[in-house]
Structure 1
Amino acid sequence: MTTEKNTYCYSCYGLNIRSYFRLPELPEKKFENPDVVIALGQVKDKYTAEHVPEGLHFDAIDCFVFKMNSGTLYQVSGGRFITVQFPDHSRVGFPDIRLYMLSPVFNALLHQRGILLLHAGVLCRNARSIAIAGESGIGKSTIGAELCLGRGYSFVSDDVCAIDDIDGSRIRVLPSVPRLKMLPDTMLRLGLDSRECESIDESKGKFSVPVKDRLATGDVYLEAVFVLSVNDHHHIEVTSLKGVEKVEALLKNLIWIEYLRWMGNQEALFARCNAICSDIEIYRLSFDKRIHSPRLLADEIEKSWNLA
């Protein structure tokens, strides 16, 4: 929806977002006071020079600047403001803006707000939610698609599990951008036509599959994390992790762990992860990618956590 000032109003990660840019992936929402403002403007001068390299720059704990290969700059400050500056004679496409905005830029914003980010998808059934964690390309989205589109699970997140706070003994997770990023072969297996979906990452060949109608409603509390790993044993292994091993598995799958360490409060980070681990189960799900299909892995997850 648009406002009288020609901005758009959305909801994501539990935040009211007012944006200069249209972000059609996000659910629209009416509100008066935004938590986050996305605007077109001027970033700090020192980052506009041509000699400044591409990538992420930590200007301060509460100010990050992204410089893209197109020359577009994104400044994230105070956990509340996102400023976008285009280079002169810019030919930046609208899909490119959304690709960066909805992933690394939002991740930076959430970090500034003290939200812990796990590289994991989250699905929910009967008020019970699980996270599927692991490195890029291991199959998180594919298994998530099997559970969400193939088995009717509610969607919470595709690859960013945003842990907002610890409410007693329950770990709350915020709903993310309601889309699945899928490869054409996975889409075909689930009866989806990639020609009807938008390409969002040409380098990986992935498409954006909207799942607004499957977005979980109400508070979502995390019960278990399945950390994916690859083996060559020709069989699936599920191992329940205990003690320090649980904490290490969680730390290993945090998004931007380098930034969290750069902030210098590693003891507090370890204590927070330890508190989370004391109230959820963490499993290592090891499999052979050559022979184990997403359907088999989803079966194993359901069996291990009694979700079937």
Structure 2
Amino acid sequence: MNFVYRVSGLLVASDQPLPLLARTRDEGVAPDVTIHFAPVPDEEGRACGAFIVFGPERLDLLVPQVLRVRIAAGRSLTVDVAAGVPTGAVQTYLLGPAFAALLYQRGLVPLHAGAVRTEAGGAVAVAGHSRAGKSTTTRALMRAGHALLCDDQLVVDAASGLAQAGYPALKLWGGALAHFGEAAGEAVAAGLDKYHVACADGFDTSPARLQAVCVLVADAELHAPVLERLPFPEAVAALGTLAHHAYVAHALGCRPGLFRFSAELARRVPVFLLRRPDNLDGLDAVVDRVREAALG
């Protein structure tokens, strides 16, 4: 294993380079997770969305004509890539749904959220469903001086509130790229106007205590963002819907763990609903509301 990285608090060793990840100097330490690029045999199992489940300790992510990833015991990922598939697409599926399934096998819950460092040295999460504007808001927070902790998939320990660093890259839609004047990297997937953007210069690798979670909702009728703190029951419900690729956790028998995670995190960390205009014009005001949430 020539390539060693740290992702979401785990030491990851791969036999091929993963350009989006940040190399680490922990080469002498046994890895938590190994990634091998090798053929994966086709086997019959229970279909669950993009996954084929053989049991709680073994399942495959299958994206036809792109790749097949075997996820085993929370410790290994075997990646079988179709010929000609770009690296960007491989890493989209490997570091997204495949890694989420591996985290569930390890008893961890990844939130569908990005996160940045706050002025106080903690972290604030920007959560939401697809197209809520998480990565765009995270990039706007970086522009305002906040270091990136992660994009799209956040691992946080509910008992301590400690959030782990992901990897130094964002996924941005073409309109957001133009807004920030960013150069497009590789496409996230074929046919999508969404791209990987490396952010090594603004990335913080150390974990941080989570100060707040902002759940983003785009609202075409709003002209200014509106922030409100959610009462505990609503906070638990909101977090429960934001486990990333939660249907995989259900298929692996992790549903009770999702509820316990949501309740414990909601007790420890304030959760806010942040409704924002469905455009890029008011991003500075959205950043101000996220900062307001981080201050409690």
Alignment TM-score > 0.5, same fold: yes
Deviation, 1:22, is 1.3
Partner of 2:61: 66
- Residue of 161, 176, 183 corresponding to 2:173: 183
- Does 1:136 find its partner at 2:124? no
Contact 2:118 2:294 in 1 (8 A): no
- Residue of 182, 186, 193 corresponding to 1:192: 182
Partner of 1:213: 201
Aligned residues: 291
Higher relative contact order structure (alpha carbons within 8 Å, sequence separation ≥ 6): 2
Q: Structure 2 matches for 1:106-125, cutoff 5 A?
A: 106-125=99-118
Deviation, 1:218, is 2.7
Deviations 1:184-207 (A, max 9, x none): 33233333233xx33323433122
CA distance in 2, matches of 1:110, 1:219: 17
CA distance in 2, matches of 1:61, 1:272: 19
Contact 1:123 1:131 in 2 (8 A): yes
Unaligned runs of 5+ in 2: none
Q: Highest CA radius of gyration, 1 or 2?
A: 1
Deviation, 1:286, is 1.3
Amino acid across the alignment from 2:163: V
Partner of 2:147: 154
Deviation, 1:74, is 0.9
Q: Structure 2 matches for 1:209-288, cutoff 5 A?
A: 209-231=197-219, 232-264=221-253, 266-288=255-277
CA distance in 1, matches of 2:254, 2:24: 36
Deviation, 1:71, is 5.9
Partner of 2:164: 174
CA distance in 2, matches of 1:53, 1:142: 30
CA distance in 2, matches of 1:270, 1:189: 38
CA distance in 1, matches of 2:279, 2:67: 40
- Residue of 31, 50, 56 corresponding to 1:55: 50
Structure-1-length-normalised TM-score: 0.85
**Alignment identity in percent?**
24
CA distance in 2, matches of 1:185, 1:71: 26
Unaligned runs of 5+ in 1: none
What secondary structure does 2:19 align onto? coil
TM-align CA RMSD: 2.5
Deviations 1:236-262 (A, max 9, x none): 321111121110010011112223333
Q: Structure 2 matches for 1:26-41, cutoff 5 A?
A: 26-30=21-25, 31-32=27-28, 33-41=30-38
Deviation, 1:47, is 4.9
- Does 1:203 find its partner at 2:196? no
Deviation, 1:227, is 0.7
Partner of 1:75: 70
- Does 1:84 find its partner at 2:97? no
Q: Structure 2 matches for 1:288-307, cutoff 5 A?
A: 288-290=277-279, 293-306=282-295
Structure-2-length-normalised TM-score: 0.88
